[in-house]
Amino acid sequence: MTFEETVTHRRSVRNFKDEAIDEAIVRQCLEMATLAPNSSNMQLWEFYHITNSETLQKLSVACLGQQAATTAQQLVVFVTRQDLHRKRERTMLKLETINIQKNSPKEKQEARLKRWQVYYGKVMPFLYTRFFGVFGLIRKIMVNIVGLFRPIVYQVSEGDMKVVVHKTCALAAQTFMLAMSSKGYDTCPMEGFDSKRVKRILNLPYGAQINMIVSCGIRAEGGVWGDRMRIPFDEAYKRV
């Protein structure tokens, strides 16, 4: 498919055929999802690819019995992992060091390396650390003072950073769904689910959060509920 055909083909499918889909293709689409843009390249996400029939049945119950879940051949649970920020910071600093050594002129390597050491060694830990809202409040006070003198990002509370992580994960989920569409497979993103039950079923740690659950399969007759409807483009498009 062309990209336009892929985007047009993708619909939220709520009824799937009782026809197996290739696990390897779904995995490949998840690998493509890792190429999605994400904030500071922190990649604070995990993708749980569910193929086991017993787990699929348990998750369909946790998804409130939605037909999109009960008829799905496979499920993918997109999970945010802000609690892994320190591990990711170390990983990204290591990768950026290699990147600088490989691609930067020697006379600029030291300065660029120091910049990334500050960014991943101090800035990212400062932004992503959580402690019952206390660190977020301190960050808000600091940026509001600095903002009196120069432009600055104000969205630094613990709630703000949670939104950042979920936006990043959602970009990966959308990339996955488009990749699946390009392979002729169908998906449905679901936000209606019992997150506590899902976490128990998948044995997720306390710091993990469910971003969305995407059902996968091949659309059955009636799987798409009518024509696609969108508000007039001029209501959304604002040329400045």
- 154 and 168 together in one domain: no
Among 159, 181, 205, residue at a domain's last position: 159
3-class state of residue 146 by DSSP = helix
Looking at residue 185, which CATH number applies to its domain? Answer: 3.40.109.10
Report CA torsion sign: 157, 162, 163, 169.
Answer: positive
What pLDDT is attached to residue 132? 87
Residue range 21-46: mean pLDDT, rounded: 98
Same domain, 79 and 94: no
79 and 121 fall within a common domain: no
User: Does 216 lie in the same domain as 190?
Assistant: yes
Same domain, 80 and 168: yes
| Domain stops at, among 132, 159, 186 | 159
Summarize pLDDT for 121-146 with one digit per residue, the tens. 999 999 999 988 899 999 999 999 99
Number of folded domains that form the chain: 2
**CA separation for the pair 1, 6 (Å, rounded):** 6
Examine the domain organization and report whether 112 and 58 are in the same domain: no
Residues 54 and 150 placed together within one structural domain of the fold:
no
d(CA 153, CA 143): 7
Contact 44, 82 (CB under 8 A): yes
Mean pLDDT (the chain) is 96
Confidence of residue 209 (pLDDT cuts 50, 70, 90): very high
- From 118, 136, 159, give the residue that closes a domain: 159
Tokens 């971003």 locate to 211
The total number of residues shown for the chain amounts to 240
Percent of the chain with pLDDT over 70: 100
Same domain assignment for residues 77 and 180: yes
Q: Are residues 182 and 78 in the same domain?
A: yes
171 in the same domain as 79? yes
Q: Same domain for 74 and 181?
A: yes
Asked if 66 and 14 count as a contact pair (C-beta separation under 8 A), the reply is yes
pLDDT digits (tens, 9 = 90+) for 65-95: 999 999 999 999 999 999 999 999 999 999 9
Q: What is the domain range of residue 212?
A: 3-84+164-236
Overall pTM surpassing 0.75 (yes/no) = yes
pLDDT at 133: 87
pLDDT digits 0-9 by tens, 34-66: 999 999 999 999 999 999 999 999 999 999 999
Whether residues 232 and 173 share a domain: the answer is yes
The CA distance from 12 to 216, in Å, is 10
